[in-house]
Amino acid sequence: MKLIRFSVGTQVHWGILEGANIQAIRLPDLEPTGQVFSSSEVQMLVPAAPSKIICVGKNYAAHAAEMGGEVPVEPGLFLKGANTLTHHGATVAYPAWTENLHFEGELGLVIKTQARKISPEQALSHVLGYTCAIDLTARDKQRADLQWFRAKSADDFLPFGPHLETNLDPSTSRVSTRINGEIRQDSSTSNMIYNVPFVISYVSQFMTLEAGDVIITGTPDGVGALQPNDHIEVTVAGVGTLETRIGDKA
């Protein structure tokens, strides 16, 4: 089932995408409201409205190796701001303050219901759906700054979408990234060091996850630099493809 977030005029809705039609629903139970819209009459939005965005660093051993680091003994977590979220098809300006903008394709998810101190076995029942994510990173500032704030949380540094897929096994999903049509990343979530249920459970032990919160689960090896006018496509098998273009320096 494909879930989307969209607006009609000033009203924001969630819905189930069914061909060219959208059936409006209420969260978290996905109950239909009775309203049906044509996809041509709505504005598609990022399929999340989080209070926080939790990111897992170095969650694939091959990526940890390419970054010159050891495999973490616990999940390596950091936050991105909600200002980083941008939609499928967006053009993201290449920031003038970095000379080394990188792509990181990932599996993302959105939390459905509040989760606090839950077990891994309970974790997936708290997931609304899964999607594609691009963790844009100013690599030179990540290395130079005291914290990763600027490197990870600049405006539009998290393209996310195009929709949420409810029917996905996050343990065996292929994640791939193409830059200008060339495959640069190609792996499976089965290669994660810490799988999705463990990550959700781990975070919930010290931070209450609220409905709408976003988790991006780490990137495979193959990350690299971007240039203005590059076209990024991140595909999660069973979900779809998220497309983003890098604009001119600004």
Which domain, by its residues, includes 24? 2-44
For residue 195, count CB atoms less than 10 angstroms from its CB and return exposed for 0-12, middle for 13-18, buried for 19 or more: middle
Contact 172, 188 (CB under 8 A): yes
What values do phi and psi take at 143, rounded to 5? Answer: -80, -30
Q: Give the CATH number of the domain where residue 204 resides.
A: 3.90.850.10
| β-bridge pairing 2-8 and 43-45 | antiparallel
Statement to judge: residues 59 and 111 lie in one domain: yes
Return the pLDDT at 68. 81
- Which tokens sit at 207? 């931070």
Residue 18 and residue 105 share a domain:
no
- Beta-strand pair 158-165/127-134: antiparallel
What CATH number does residue 33 fall under?
2.30.30.370
At 66 the pLDDT is 87
Question: Taking the CB of residue 211, how many other CB atoms lie within 10 A of it?
Answer: 17
Provide the pLDDT for residue 94: 98
- Which pLDDT score, from 0 to 100, does residue 55 have? 98
233 and 174 belong to one structural domain: yes
Please list the rounded mean pLDDT of every run of 10 residues in the chain (250 residues). 96 96 97 95 97 96 85 93 98 98 98 98 98 98 93 98 98 98 98 98 98 98 97 98 97
* pLDDT for the residue numbered 202: 98
Res 77: pLDDT: 97
The structural domain count of the chain equals 2
Q: Are residues 31 and 70 in the same domain?
A: no
Q: Could you tell me if 195 and 159 lie in one domain?
A: yes
Q: Are residues 195 and 131 in the same domain?
A: yes
Instruction: Say yes or no: 38 and 51 in one domain.
Output: no
Q: Are 50 and 87 in a shared domain? A: yes
> Do 79 and 180 belong to one domain?
yes
The verdict on 7 and 111 lying in the same domain is no
Q: Are residues 100 and 85 in the same domain?
A: yes
| Together in a domain, 117 and 197 | yes
Query: pTM of the prediction?
Result: 0.96
Q: What is the pLDDT of residue 71?
A: 82
